[in-house]
Amino acid sequence: MKPVKLTPAFKDYLWGGTKLRTEFGKDCDFEKIAESWELSTHKDGESTVVTGEHKGKKLSEYIEAMGKEVLGKNAEKFSYFPILIKFIDAKDNLSIQVHPDDEYALKNEGEYGKTEMWYILDCEEGAFLYYGFNKEITRDEFADRIKNNTILEVLNKVEVKKGDVFFIKAGTVHAIGKGIVICEIQQNSNTTYRVYDYDRRDKDGNARPLHTEKAIEVSTFTKAPENSGVTKISDDEMCLAKCEYFTVDKVDVNGKKKIKIDENSFRSIIITTGNAKLYSDGEEMELKKGDSVFVPAFNGEIELEGECEAVISYV
């Protein structure tokens, strides 16, 4: 049950930038790296194991070889690997979009819905995102504003700063604005319905498709709730988000930090700043900013030593 380091799948969406290469050390030939899928078994982009005896295997192949026990007891309620974790570099605005809940997605898309959370790793001065509506609207108004390209007028615009956390429940209309780098922890889904895309064109000059009818079916039209705050666990640990699909903690390591692992869930460790060594069962792993590690479920503990910030996710 040794931790393994992962390398991501990459996406070169038109709104992406270069910070995942220059600031997070991602090795990719794409001109733009919009997303790196750091923990993923999704068919649209899998992470790959790069350490240990299973080096070179896709994460799903590693899990199959090791047995589902590595996921832990809490993962048994999911029919497939429960979460997907990404770095996202938004050099330009993302489309205004919404994700369906489980019931709608399973019926219409053949996969789970998408509730997600964002942890702001960096942002330019004045950067903002859209999170729900600034007032309650009707289904008909939503449809009309999509048709008339006035949807931005009723969206809840929130200026952001480094360290902010946003919990985006399925059905919440949202968009990441330009100049923001985030770590996103989400359900294992790639279903997105666009409702507005700034009339942008792809590399072939074609308008990117919108998904208006489906978006109207799944969206929540109430005023955006106050964004949930983080919860302090200890002086060096915070809970950033907790829901039925995932729990996300942030740990600040200044010296040594022991992390308890149990049989209930695996742990995903993402290093967001600094450097550290990970010790497990007498073995040592060097970690730097941008690295992703999968720790199987087992009764015991690991230790991080160094100066770093780590985002730790589990179910």
Which has the closest alpha carbon to 95: 199, 189, 202? 199
Q: Can you tell me whether residue 21 is helix, strand or coil? A: helix
Give the distance from CA 252 to its chain's centroid: 20
Residue type, 89: D
Q: Are 88 and 179 in contact (CB under 8 A)?
A: no
* CA dihedral over 166, 168, 173, 178, signed as positive or negative: positive
* CA dihedral over 174, 175, 176, 177, signed as positive or negative: negative
Helices (H), the chain: 19-22, 59-66, 102-108, 139-148, 212-218
Q: Are 150 and 125 in contact (CB under 8 A)?
A: no
CA-only gyration radius of the chain, Å: 19
Residues 6 or more apart from 68 whose CB is under 8 A from it? 75, 76
Give the integer Cα–Cα distance in Å for 137 and 260: 46
Catalytic residue among 139, 194, 201, 267: 194
Q: Are 104 and 211 in contact (CB under 8 A)?
A: no
Q: Can you tell me whether residue 28 is helix, strand or coil? A: coil
> Quick check: is 21 catalytic?
no
H/E element, 222: none
Q: Which residues are catalytic?
A: 194
